[in-house]
Amino acid sequence: MIPERDIALRVTSPFSPEWAVAIDSFATALRAAGAPKTTIDTRTAHVKRLARVFSPTGPWEITDDELIRWVGGERWAAETRRSYYASFRKFYGWAYGTARTTANPALALPSVAPGQPSPRPTPDRVYKETLLAASRRERLMVRLAEEQGLRRGEVAVAHSDDLIEDLTGWSLLVHGKGGKTRVVPLLDTVAAELLMLGPGYFFPGHVDGHLSPRWVGKLLARLMPGKWTMHSLRHRFASKAYAAGDDLFALQDVLGHASPNTTRRYVHVPDDRRRRLVHAAAGVPVRRREPGELAA
């Protein structure tokens, strides 16, 4: 058993060669299964954190109690916790299935309920400040997130070959999470900007020819005041789109979510929409109050 005081001290420690070999083999297995690079990076990053915590204890020597004690002490948000647990289950499931271990401590991990809807759309003020501070390239990144609903990873890998023209205009073949693709209709002005960039990646860089998703997110985070991030621009798109169209399933398709429950977590429903709903159910029109007028 590892003393509790030692677990906290080992978070920043380098992990042992045994861990390094296991993580490398795990990544190879994920690639062989066709997992996209983003998924492999996420899963291995989570396991590397586990390795830093428990090294020099080997990956196959961790007990159920030790794993539970560590994750139970982490102040993760529900979605972060679900993601870490999924990585640990995948890692130890692979190790058990390939006879690298006879025990699977990840089986002791409890299920975690999805977090409650907590949409955080970028306010108008922040959005305008961001556009004013952005360069031409950064402004296009902002537009792809705020006007088209793209994730930072999807913006990073967008390529001229992904542009599609049909009888109604231009669309973009978006390469989403988990290797899934979807077609997102483009605004004419966004399409025109993308076409002007010419052939190749829209945001060239040193990661397979394009900017890394992390760098795209960092560029916009530097522009946005306070704790606002590029992802809040996607929440802003979702909230505006739902308020305008009221079609959760169409919005789910555009955002590339596997479940409408995920889409719901992005959408901020305006107060006046809820008020109109209550009055409509009662068959009573909503009366606009004059400024300073109190309820009867």
242 is annotated as an active-site residue: no
- Radius of gyration over every alpha carbon of the chain, rounded to an integer in angstroms: 23
Which residues, at least 6 apart from 290, have a Cβ–Cβ distance to it below 8 Å? none
Q: Tell me which of 89, 120, 177, 240 is the catalytic residue.
A: 177
- Active-site position among 159, 265, 266, 268: 266
112: left (phi over 0), alpha (psi -120 to 50) or beta: beta
Cite the DSSP H helix spans in 163-247: 188-196, 213-223, 230-245
Q: What is the helix (H) or strand (E) element at residue 164, kind and residue range?
A: strand 163-166
Q: Locate 3 and state its tokens.
A: 């003393």
Residue type, 171: S
**151 in catalytic set:** yes
Choose, from 143, 234, 235, 265, the residue flagged as catalytic.
234
Given 175, 257, 264, 265, the catalytic residue: 257
Tokens linked to 295: 């309820």
Tell me, yes or no, if 266 is annotated catalytic.
Answer: yes
Buried b (16+ CB within 10 A) or exposed e, 160-184: eebbeeeeeebbbebbbeeeeebeb
Catalytic residue, chosen from 151, 152, 159, 265, is 151
Concerning whether 231 is annotated as a catalytic residue, the answer is yes
Which active-site residues does the annotation give?
Answer: 151, 177, 231, 234, 257, 266
